[in-house]
Copies of this chain bind each other. A is one copy, B any other.
């Protein structure tokens, strides 16, 4: 199992648009092969901070996900909406 945290920091003037763009990723992603968890969170104190908490059966499943059209679209949207590039942490679960 692969555990992922993806942190996106929206430009402050784009918070709602960023939220909508990220919410739109959820339905098509959750039906993808190997997607075990794909949940979106928003920082209470700094609402420009968004976090996907994800679990994928394999790295290959995740790689395929990143090539899907809704992710390719999001990659373009990021350039306009985010204040800095999305940070993706690929993790092992220790306990």
Interface residues, chain A, CB within 8 Å of chain B? Answer: 3, 5, 19, 22-23, 26, 39-45, 49, 51, 53, 89-95
Contacts and interface: CB of A to CB of B under 8 A. Distances in A.
Contacts of A90: 43-45
A42 B94 contact: yes
Summarize A's interface: helix, strand, loop or mixed: strand
A48 to B, nearest CB: 12
Contacts of A40: 93-95
Contact of A94 (B41, B49, B92): B41
A23 B53 CA distance: 20
Contacts of A5: 5, 41, 51, 53
